[in-house]
Structure 1
């Protein structure tokens, strides 16, 4: 797609913030719902790669206070896109996109090391019959009912395959989640009507890889296995971007 001279000049001067190039006409946008103990910046590496391909990307900033609240914020982001949307969810964000993905603009879903519930299921339901993941030992709550992951937990269980300095930043910028959110159920399962992709993190210590594979099979997803921690978007961004681009190409 040829850029006009004004857009080229603005991009050269760095006056168009956060945009690597113009989105391709007719191509779906990508909306990303981050997980617990994170925020939208957790996806910075993947966002840049998608922008380089001409994809318009919006990272949601989930409040993480309730499922309903995160679905509302994600739905607003979907509403604001110019056309169709590929909806991506990481970890807790899988709960969010399962419900928000029922939006008529959403064509495809991409789950990344995520929960993929059926209608009427919560995180507590999905995990009840499985062993506790190692990372759960480093989650603690405050007097207001919000859960956080300790710096040690981020380094050892959440992002054990990123540099130590990066893990420290991730711990400092994490988004705590309200404990009560894990008991909230989704009212609909968008994956029943929309094609899905699922990246399974084989060395995940936050959501057991066996549980991820079980959910991925249940939703009949196109499955990609990566030998990563819970955050492949940080340690293997090119691989994650490649899967998202498959969903984008499929949605055209």
Structure 2
């Protein structure tokens, strides 16, 4: 009798119907546990300490969070630093980046441990594209605040840092960030992407609507092209990862719950 009922249930599924028994079994299936490993990658003109508010939320929610401190000396070196941290993860990992860090995770995300990518007001170039080239197609309002040193490194004029990079942060906090910023090799912005991971990995994207370092229109293009799950934060500056840590953490946790390798 049980065998007969099972065969009927199978036949109904094949025919496109769902039996009451099958529905009850599906409801009884426990939801998949979220991915627990999160790796955060910072962008240009900052360091990993800017992730502290997001780190605190994710850690409190039970995630294993690591922060990459890449040298900002070249895309290859920065990708290598990120892979060094990915290698230390004990399973599937969500890779998150802000700003130039998006180019880094676009390359490093090909690693088999990476289950999903989260871009926070970040670049997501395609194969052969550069940040400089995409920035020329979609000019940013504050692009002229970036200055280059005689030896090829770039930084943001501290007098303009608050207005252009972090307008929604308290002035004193933005000033400290300006004075402690990491100078970034200019070549990182003109190095073409070779293997864009967003073409084969699911992605989530946060657009900062008041971003003056990366055009919000460029951010929207990146998200649409990658087929990312997109959210937009009204009034957010380029420092959205610091000014809106709760929203950023919620997007990361959404990725951790829904990336296919977490199932």
Q: TM-score range by the shorter chain?
A: 0.7 to 0.9
Q: Could you tell me which residue of structure 2 aligns to residue 173 of structure 1?
A: 180
**CA distance in 2: counterparts of 1:98 and 1:241, whole angstroms:** 20
**CA distance in 2: counterparts of 1:195 and 1:26, whole angstroms:** 15
Q: Which runs of 5+ in 1 are unaligned?
A: 1-24
1:164-215 CA-to-partner distances (Å, cap 9, x unmatched) read: 1100111122111111111101110111111100000000000010111011
Q: Could you tell me which residue of structure 1 aligns to residue 107 of structure 2?
A: 99
**CA distance in 1: counterparts of 2:34 and 2:173, whole angstroms:** 36
Q: Alpha carbon RMSD of aligned pairs, Å? A: 1.2
1:140-169 CA-to-partner distances (Å, cap 9, x unmatched) read: 111111101112222001000000110011
**CA distance in 2: counterparts of 1:150 and 1:176, whole angstroms:** 11
Query: SS in structure 2 opposite 1:119?
Result: coil
2:79 maps to which of 71, 80, 87: 71
Determine if the alignment matches structure 1 residue 244 to structure 2 residue 252: yes
Q: Could you tell me which residue of structure 2 aligns to residue 186 of structure 1?
A: 193
**CA distance in 2: counterparts of 1:39 and 1:145, whole angstroms:** 19
**Which TM-score applies when normalising by structure 1?**
0.87
Q: Could you tell me which residue of structure 1 aligns to residue 119 of structure 2?
A: 111
TM superposition shift of 1:26? 7.4
**CA distance in 1: counterparts of 2:167 and 2:84, whole angstroms:** 33
Query: Does the Cα contact within 8 Å between 2:34 and 2:258 map onto a contact in 1?
Result: no
Task: Name the count of aligned residue pairs.
Answer: 227
Determine if the alignment matches structure 1 residue 59 to structure 2 residue 70: no
**CA distance in 2: counterparts of 1:45 and 1:130, whole angstroms:** 30
Query: Does the Cα contact within 8 Å between 2:34 and 2:257 map onto a contact in 1?
Result: no
**CA distance in 1: counterparts of 2:69 and 2:110, whole angstroms:** 19
Q: Could you tell me which residue of structure 2 aligns to residue 214 of structure 1?
A: 221
1:42 maps to which of 50, 53, 58: 50
**CA distance in 2: counterparts of 1:58 and 1:172, whole angstroms:** 25
Of 86-95 and 117-126, deviating more is 117-126
Determine if the alignment matches structure 1 residue 89 to structure 2 residue 101: no
**CA distance in 2: counterparts of 1:182 and 1:140, whole angstroms:** 13
